[in-house]
Amino acid sequence: MEDLEMLKIIKDKETEAQKIIESLKAEKESELEELRKKLEEELKVEELKAREEMQHRLDSVRSRAEARAREIMEAAKDRAARMKINMKLDELQKIIDSLIDEYLGAR
């Protein structure tokens, strides 16, 4: 009989230990799930920050590139205008030379 009682006590202790293990396991799983959710939220926040920073940098680079393109276009326009003026001056010089030649030839 004592053996039966001892077996019963051992069985009860095993059952109690199993319940404690299951309870601790459930508690740790719950903690892990909360931690996972928290980390997912932090990751989303960091991803958003990274995207915003990347967009800011892209906008900055685009802005600088557009400004440089405007500078290049203005320089090209100025150069074209100077070339046009030089061409007009050359044409005017030819006309003046021609008139001088005619004048000198008429004398």
> H/E/C letters for each residue in the chain?
CHHHHHHHHHHHHHHHHHHHHHHHHHHHHHHHHHHHHHHHHHHHHHHHHHHHHHHHHHHHHHHHHHHHHHHHHHHHHHHHHHHHHHHHHHHHHHHHHHHHHHHHHHC
The mean pLDDT of 6-11, rounded to a whole number, is 90
Instruction: Give the pTM.
Output: 0.52
Would 92 be classed as within a structural domain? no
Read off the pLDDT of residues 53-103 as tens digits, 9 standing for 90 and up.
999 999 999 999 999 999 999 998 888 888 787 778 788 888 888 888 887
Would 62 be classed as within a structural domain? yes
Would 105 be classed as within a structural domain? no
Q: What is the pLDDT, as a whole number, of residue 80?
A: 82
How many domains does the chain divide into? 1
The mean pLDDT of 26-50, rounded to a whole number, is 97
Task: Print the domain residue range for 21.
Answer: 1-76
